[in-house]
Structure 1
Amino acid sequence: VNSYAITAVDNVKQLFPPGKEWLYFEIYSHQQRSDALLTGPIAHFIEKYNSHINKWFFIRYNENGYHIMFRVLLNDEKDGYLLTSAFSGYLEDDIASGLISDLQIKTYKRETQRYGNDIIDDVEMHFRADSDYVIALMQSNADALSKYKYCADLVEAIQNSAVLDDVFITEIIKMMSDSFNEEHNLDPTDFKKLNSQYQIYRKTDFLSLSDEQSSLFNHFAESFISILKKINESRRGQLFSDLMHMHVNRLFNKEQRTHEMVVYYFLLKDIQRRKAMKK
């Protein structure tokens, strides 16, 4: 667990057992199937019951079998039974056919250790902006290179906001890139492959986002920037990498850490290329 200097805010509720204002479902399925569940039943459920929902988000998780963690904060906890029953209804066919191997209802334990009591509410709201944007991206079947490009656009928006100073953001990206390269034990052949993939990435004409995707991207980027602004500078580097990590987790349905390695590698190459052009 990452920890950094956290401002104490007392009376922040940490645990929400079933039947309280947070609903928390774990949906077990094959990872290849997870995107269809997110753009299908989960998106339809959110749309239909939007007026009952304060915020919601999803996370992909591999422990004890691949699953989607789906968390929903109700406007009124009295709607819990209604929405639990409705959500089960949306998944009924997939459970019957075996596409979903299990649906579990859990206690939601907030990650206040990682994010801090002072911003946990904001982080959850940011996760909604992230989840809404990612589901909109999935609907146009964006490929991996496009997703890397949209991550680069996000980092560019953060840089332009000046919430993180340029030297500092370069240091974070370099540190994260080195750390992921080391974790993946990259050898010269791997670097050669990455570099040729980067050349393809540089030459690709990416499709523009639709109006809806653009609007959700802007909301997500603004949310990312405003949450960084809320905390003191000593916490921003860690929070930046934590929120990027969660974004990549949502963007890709498998091998997320490898994709995260590529994201940082490409970001670093972009920075190095821009520096070389300035000389």
Structure 2
Amino acid sequence: MEETTQRSFIIGDHWLYFKIYTGHKTSDIILAEVIKPMATALRNAGVISKWFFIRYADPKHHIRLRFYLPDPGKIGVVIQQLHPQLKAYIAEDLIWKVQTDTYDRELERYGANTIELAETLFFYDSEMITTFLAHLRVLRDEELRWLFALKATDHLLDCFQHNLEQKLELMKNLAFSFGQEFGMSKPLKVQLDKKYRNARKKVESFLQSAPEQETELSFIHTCLQQYCRASESVVGKILELHQQGDLAMDLNQFLNSLIHMLLNRLFKSKNRMNEMVCYNFLERYYKSTLARAKKS
């Protein structure tokens, strides 16, 4: 399978790859107000079938944007759509560089036989996150970003049919490895303890809330449900490969990568630190929920 799975895509291949160099705050505006509507129009016109983005620094912060063209000959249509919109931001010095590059698939990380499935999940993820960012720009409530991070991560695990024990095990491992990365010292642990104590009621309420309870936030439930419905067949194929022993890595390892990319798309800065806090909070939440369930 490795031999027949294309690893690299240069300009003119099916995957078209742009790097858009911009600031942290501006990246949210570009994603929600330029890229999402443009990608929707291109999909509706049949020019692209999927797309996705990630945030990256090399060390300059930028958006890595990838479009899949069933017909690579339509590359000019994408450029014609993208050019005038980005040029307006360049004129305002909000974007300082746009370039194309070679897209090298991470076959070792996602598996040669599942990379296309992973890319489809990246597409659904990018659609969900950009829809959320558009709402966030209207609501202007930054607290919602990290609460949504927790709920979206939990929902992803639901889509992959993880029960509470499995969720706890996965988060425990992620929290531990990120804790090591940040050198989980006593002061940091005390800081996280305090942070979670202060946020616990809000976290529990948000993760347990039904959509009708928060009409202003019902769009969050809609975003998550749309993701789960859209990804159902792809998730089914991945779970089938896992059950057959044909997944190139452990399922949790695959999920770790999906969660990491979800949070990468959501947070505009301090991504690793925000990830660590999310994993820490979810571990605590699952642990206490499981303890209560066992008592009752």
TM-score of Structure 1 vs Structure 2, range by shorter chain? 0.7 to 0.9
In 1: Cα distance, 2:170 partner to 2:94 partner: 40
SS of 1:185's partner is coil
Identity %: 27
SS of 1:258's partner is helix
2:264 is matched with which residue: 228, 240, 249? 249
In 1: Cα distance, 2:143 partner to 2:184 partner: 20
Q: What's 1:231 paired with?
A: 241
In 2: Cα distance, 1:161 partner to 1:86 partner: 34
Query: Which structure 2 residues correspond to residues 1-279 of structure 1 after superposition, within 5 A?
Result: 8=1, 10-50=3-43, 51=45, 52-141=47-136, 143=141, 145-157=143-155, 160=158, 163-164=161-162, 166-204=164-202, 206=206, 207=214, 213-221=220-228, 223=231, 225-226=235-236, 228-232=238-242, 235-277=250-292, 278-279=294-295
In 2: Cα distance, 1:47 partner to 1:158 partner: 23
- In the TM superposition, what is the alpha-carbon distance from 1:146 to its structure 2 partner? 3.1
In 2: Cα distance, 1:128 partner to 1:187 partner: 37
Q: What's the C-alpha RMSD, in Å, of the aligned pairs? A: 2.5
- In the TM superposition, what is the alpha-carbon distance from 1:145 to its structure 2 partner? 4.4
1:209-235: CA deviations, max 9, x gaps?
756543331233452843641432662
SS of 1:12's partner is coil
In 1: Cα distance, 2:237 partner to 2:216 partner: 24
Contact 1:56 1:73 survives alignment (8 Å):
yes
In 1: Cα distance, 2:91 partner to 2:196 partner: 43
Query: Structure 1: which 4+ aligned runs deviate by more than 6 Å?
Result: none
In 2: Cα distance, 1:237 partner to 1:176 partner: 10
Contact 1:173 1:267 survives alignment (8 Å):
yes
User: Structure 1 154/82 Cα, relative in aligned 2: closer, same or farther at 3 Å?
Assistant: closer
Q: Tell me which moved more, 67-76 or 220-229.
A: 220-229
User: Structure 1 143/212 Cα, relative in aligned 2: closer, same or farther at 3 Å?
Assistant: closer
In 2: Cα distance, 1:165 partner to 1:276 partner: 14
- In the TM superposition, what is the alpha-carbon distance from 1:28 to its structure 2 partner? 0.4
User: Structure 1 59/268 Cα, relative in aligned 2: closer, same or farther at 3 Å?
Assistant: same
Gaps of at least 5 residues in structure 1 are 1-7
SS of 2:54's partner is strand
In 2: Cα distance, 1:112 partner to 1:122 partner: 12
In 2: Cα distance, 1:144 partner to 1:218 partner: 22
In 1: Cα distance, 2:13 partner to 2:261 partner: 25
SS of 1:23's partner is strand
Contact 1:136 1:213 survives alignment (8 Å):
no
What is the one-letter code of the residue matched to 1:11?
T
What is the one-letter code of the residue matched to 2:227?
F
Structure having the higher helix fraction is 2
Contact 2:14 2:72 survives alignment (8 Å):
yes
For these two proteins, the number of residue pairs brought into alignment is 272
- In the TM superposition, what is the alpha-carbon distance from 1:114 to its structure 2 partner? 1.1
- In the TM superposition, what is the alpha-carbon distance from 1:158 to its structure 2 partner? 5.1
> TM-score w.r.t. structure 1 length?
0.87
User: Structure 1 72/209 Cα, relative in aligned 2: closer, same or farther at 3 Å?
Assistant: farther
SS of 2:68's partner is strand
Q: What's 1:3 paired with?
A: none
SS of 1:140's partner is helix
SS of 1:139's partner is helix
